[in-house]
Amino acid sequence: MMDYILNDEHIELNALLKLEGPFNSGGQIKHIIMDELVSVDGKVETRRRAKLRVGQVVTSDEFGIEIKIVGPK
């Protein structure tokens, strides 16, 4: 599992995947979210701009992604 250190109140799902995921473009991220290939805390998430906060976990079995949102140390 990869940790993402969140220095703000939240980060949008599409922004997190663009920073930490293995994707080439925002368009690709849009499609994997719309195709229900991404989950937040175990539930499929289809909102590209879903606000993620400390303690949440983003996963995609299809792409081998598991990112936990953590606070600054």
Note the pTM of the prediction, 2 decimals.
0.93
Rg (CA), the chain: 11
Domain residue spans of the chain = 2-70
CA distance 70 to 4: 6
Coil, strand or helix at 13:
helix
pLDDT at 24: 85
Q: What is the CATH number of domain 2-70?
A: 3.10.290.10
How many C-beta neighbours within 10 Å does residue 32 have?
Answer: 18
pLDDT digits (tens, 9 = 90+) for 14-61: 999 999 989 889 999 999 999 999 999 999 999 999 999 999 999 999
